[in-house]
Amino acid sequence: MTNKDILTDSEQGLLQRFNTGAEELSPMNAERLVEIVSKLHQGINKIATSVEALRTVFNRPMTPDDAIKAFRQHIINITGGSKDANIRIILK
């Protein structure tokens, strides 16, 4: 299930029209679009990392494979190993 699955057909239609440019932002639909975006963001678990933390992860020369492994380990560390599909990593 994706976040869009929680939207009604009407909400999905408005969002799709807005994203494609077929629907302009107007006083008539602005509040509804805000409600749709809020609905989509419900349940999102934001986890922040910093440039300093990434510098610590990449503190030495690495092969591309080593860099990927180090980055994956960093993500596991900051997420507590959770595989939750609602986690979003934010760079501060």
pLDDT (tens place) for every residue of the chain, 92 residues total: 466 777 899 999 999 999 999 999 999 999 999 998 888 877 778 899 999 999 999 999 999 999 999 999 999 999 998 887 778 899 99
CB 18 within 8 A of CB 12: no
- Taking the domains of the chain in order of start, what are their residue ranges? 3-41, 45-91
CB 50 within 8 A of CB 78: no
**Which spans in 1-92 are helix H?**
9-20, 30-41, 51-57, 64-79
